[in-house]
């Protein structure tokens, strides 16, 4: 009887050791005496302890950080670039059987691809077209990883580091370009203002009433000012207020400008 109890205890322990709990996001590969026999999904699974071996693989999305240290760009600028790769195991069987360590392999492939992209790109392209650069890196990694059963979601560049001296040069270049753009916009505004002044002058030339109303509006704005204002009134403006046409006779003698002080 004692021997039977011992055998029973051994069988129970063996059965407990043979039970495997597979989580919802995992998938298990089963090997019998070293030979692959199939996959098992989530739930409680029975694996013969001592005869079978289980390999559980996480199928959730995984993030991998990778970087290049001082890689020379196409225009010979040392660039340090930090990026994040989002990927997951799409084919568990291929990832386990065809690659010795798929996590280390995808990491090395990402670093190699990043160095290749940096060496083929100018610094200006690296700084300005980051979204396109992300897509190029992801596409190249995806082509390699598909044969390993890995699905690459996307790549995001987190940081680009360049020498401090070059940063100062790029800063001055950006300031010069901004000033150039501001001067261009200011010149366009001057042209538009000049065109509008020409239109207004033509209107005042043919409408004495409009010219008088405009003069009165200028005086009103000056009087409404909270500060003491010294207003110089030209002869033409005083003639306009008296009802004389601004285009008076040419032989009229010029008069000195009048001044008024408004509080």
The CATH number of whichever domain residue 105 belongs to comes to 3.30.479.30
Q: Examine the domain organization and report whether 40 and 76 are in the same domain.
A: no
Q: What CA–CA distance (Å, rounded) separates 45 from 15?
A: 11
Q: Examine the domain organization and report whether 48 and 137 are in the same domain.
A: no
Residue 111 pLDDT exceeds 70: yes
Does a structural domain hold residue 174? no
pLDDT at position 166 is 64
Does a structural domain hold residue 173? no
Domain count, the chain: 3
67: left (phi over 0), alpha (psi -120 to 50) or beta: beta
pLDDT at position 263 is 39
Does a structural domain hold residue 159? yes
Residue 256 binned pLDDT confidence (cut-offs 50, 70, 90):
very low
Does a structural domain hold residue 176? no
Does a structural domain hold residue 175? no
Read off the pTM: 0.57
Q: Examine the domain organization and report whether 54 and 103 are in the same domain.
A: no
Does a structural domain hold residue 217? yes
Give the pLDDT confidence of 112-167 residue by residue, as tens digits: 888 888 888 777 777 777 788 888 888 888 888 888 888 888 888 887 877 666 65
Q: Examine the domain organization and report whether 125 and 209 are in the same domain.
A: no
Q: Examine the domain organization and report whether 160 and 200 are in the same domain.
A: no
Range of the domain at 112: 62-166
Does a structural domain hold residue 195? yes
Give the pLDDT confidence of 37-70 residue by residue, as tens digits: 888 888 888 888 888 888 888 889 988 888 887 7
Give the pLDDT confidence of 230-246 residue by residue, as tens digits: 555 565 656 656 655 44
Q: Examine the domain organization and report whether 96 and 157 are in the same domain.
A: yes
Q: Examine the domain organization and report whether 53 and 132 are in the same domain.
A: no
Q: Examine the domain organization and report whether 35 and 84 are in the same domain.
A: no
Q: Examine the domain organization and report whether 153 and 68 are in the same domain.
A: yes
Q: Examine the domain organization and report whether 117 and 194 are in the same domain.
A: no
Among 166, 192, 211, the domain boundary falls at 166
Q: What CA–CA distance (Å, rounded) separates 90 from 82?
A: 25
Does a structural domain hold residue 53? yes
């Amino acid at each position: 009887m004692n021997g039977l109890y011992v055998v029973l205890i051994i069988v129970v322990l063996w059965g407990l050791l043979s039970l495997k709990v597979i989580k919802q996001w995992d998938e298990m590969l089963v090997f019998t005496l070293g030979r692959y026999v199939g996959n098992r999904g989530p739930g409680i699974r029975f694996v013969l302890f001592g005869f079978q071996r289980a390999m559980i693989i996480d199928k959730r999305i995984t993030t991998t950080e990778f970087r290049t240290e001082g890689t020379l760009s196409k225009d010979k600028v040392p660039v340090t670039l930090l990026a994040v790769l989002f990927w997951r195991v799409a084919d568990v069987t291929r990832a386990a059987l065809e690659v010795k360590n798929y996590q280390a392999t995808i990491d090395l492939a990402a670093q190699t691809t990043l160095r290749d992209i940096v060496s083929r790109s100018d610094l200006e392209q690296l700084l300005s077209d980051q979204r396109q650069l992300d897509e190029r890196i992801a596409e190249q990694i995806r082509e390699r990883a598909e044969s390993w059963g890995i699905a690459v979601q996307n790549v995001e560049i987190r940081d680009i580091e360049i020498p401090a001296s070059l940063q100062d040069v790029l800063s001055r270049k950006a300031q010069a370009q901004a000033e150039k753009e501001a001067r261009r916009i200011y010149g366009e505004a001057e042209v538009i203002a000049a065109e509008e002044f020409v239109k207004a002058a033509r209107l005042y030339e043919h409408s004495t009433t409009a010219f008088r109303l405009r003069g009165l509006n200028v005086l009103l704005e000056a009087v409404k000012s909270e500060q003491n204002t010294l207003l110089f009134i030209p002869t033409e403006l005083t003639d306009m207020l008296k009802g004389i046409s601004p285009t008076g006779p040419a032989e009229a003698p010029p008069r000195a400008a009048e001044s008024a002080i408004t509080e």
